Structure 1
Amino acid sequence: MSANNLFTTLEKLYKLHKSLFDLSVNKTDVIKKGDMSELDRVLKDEQKHLAAINTMEAERQRESSHYLQSRGVPVNEAPTISQCIEHGSSEERGALTHWQRKLVKIIEELRGRNELNQKLVYQSLQFVNMNLSMMQPQPDQSTYSRPNGEKKSTASRSIFDSKA
């Protein structure tokens, strides 16, 4: 059996990862702008990409299994590209190694971009929390109680009750 089906599947998998990476670059810009409706759209697109990647990964595993079985190799539950490289012919090894390197590189870039986006979202949340705590009045922090044991009620204070 030729590895052409496996090559085609690896190429599609790479294109999906590349498209997801491009989407994550766009997501970085959207986070910086603070456009929540656009961020929601980008997140929905990411979910679609992830579903397609999962489907294509299942296809890659099937094609890898067929490829290894055609070579007389016992197949485990999730064959890897490295296993296919080990049992391929010299020209197939070169092509499989090429696709493996491309996939590893794009996945590393995607991981780095996702870490950046996560940090940006975290900083944005910290900024929002800081602004909210500055806007809300702080209850009096007294270390004593009233002579008759009653505590002063601060639950009904609003933002307009605070001092400027």
Structure 2
Amino acid sequence: MSIGILVESLQKLIKLHEQLFKIAEKKTELIKNNELEELQQLVKVETKYVQAVRQIDKARTQAVDELLDGKSDERTLTTCMRFVPKESAETLQRLFEQLSALLSQLKRQNDLNQQLIQHSLQFVNFSIDMLLPEPDEFNYESPTKVDRNVNQGRFIFDSKA
């Protein structure tokens, strides 16, 4: 029975990760188009999928533990394949390869999204730096000149407050 649960868990994980990949692609478009409200809504949906992945992964882990009960200390699919009939091992291998490929795609897409967000943040920081006035000199000044700059409102932080 553990084999059936393991296969079913892997199939569900594949479906969930396919949906997560579609969400990641949609996030890329939203980031490019600067559609922040839609992006926030999509992140909420993504969170629900991630929670479902965690729950199904627990069932997968339990199935692996039951299947390998005392046979091996290694709790991997590769180890499971050694202790199941050939047809089941082939099915597990196929599902494993499909899930691995999907996870690689998802990782690449999420890395792209992270880079896009970092570029956006760099642009925002650059824009803020352009708007803020820069001090005229970077050297020490006489106390009278520093006091005059304080009175002109050039310092943002008021240390007396």
Both structures adopt the same fold (TM-score exceeding 0.5): yes
Compared CA separation, residues 8 and 50, structure 1 to 2 (3 A): same
**How does 1:1-164 map onto structure 2 within 5 Å?**
1=1, 3-69=3-69, 73-74=71-72, 76=73, 79-146=75-142, 149-150=143-144, 151=146, 152-153=149-150, 156-157=153-154
Where 1:124 maps in the other structure, the secondary structure is helix
Runs of 4+ residues over 4 Å off in structure 1: none
Compared CA separation, residues 14 and 142, structure 1 to 2 (3 A): closer
TM-score after normalising by structure 2 = 0.85
**1:105-130 deviations in whole A, cap 9, x for unaligned?**
01111111111000000000011111
Compared CA separation, residues 155 and 52, structure 1 to 2 (3 A): farther
TM-score after normalising by structure 1 = 0.84
Q: Is the 8 A contact 2:2 2:67 kept in 1?
A: yes
Where 1:145 maps in the other structure, the secondary structure is coil
Compared CA separation, residues 113 and 155, structure 1 to 2 (3 A): farther
Letter of the structure 1 residue corresponding to residue 130 of structure 2: M
Identity of aligned residues (%): 31
Deviation of 1:67 (Å): 2.2
Letter of the structure 2 residue corresponding to residue 84 of structure 1: C
Q: What is aligned with 1:161?
A: none
Cα distance in 1, alignment partners of residues 80 and 139 from structure 2? 71
User: What RMSD in Å do the two structures reach over aligned CA positions?
Assistant: 2.0
Q: Is the 8 A contact 2:2 2:66 kept in 1?
A: no
Where 2:153 maps in the other structure, the secondary structure is coil
Q: What is aligned with 2:159?
A: none
Compared CA separation, residues 137 and 18, structure 1 to 2 (3 A): same
Deviation of 1:68 (Å): 2.5
Structure 2: unaligned runs, 5 residues or longer: 156-161
Length, aligned pairs only: 152
Compared CA separation, residues 45 and 143, structure 1 to 2 (3 A): same
Q: What is aligned with 2:158?
A: none
Structure 1: unaligned runs, 5 residues or longer: 159-164
Where 2:135 maps in the other structure, the secondary structure is coil
Cα distance in 2, alignment partners of residues 142 and 6 from structure 1? 66
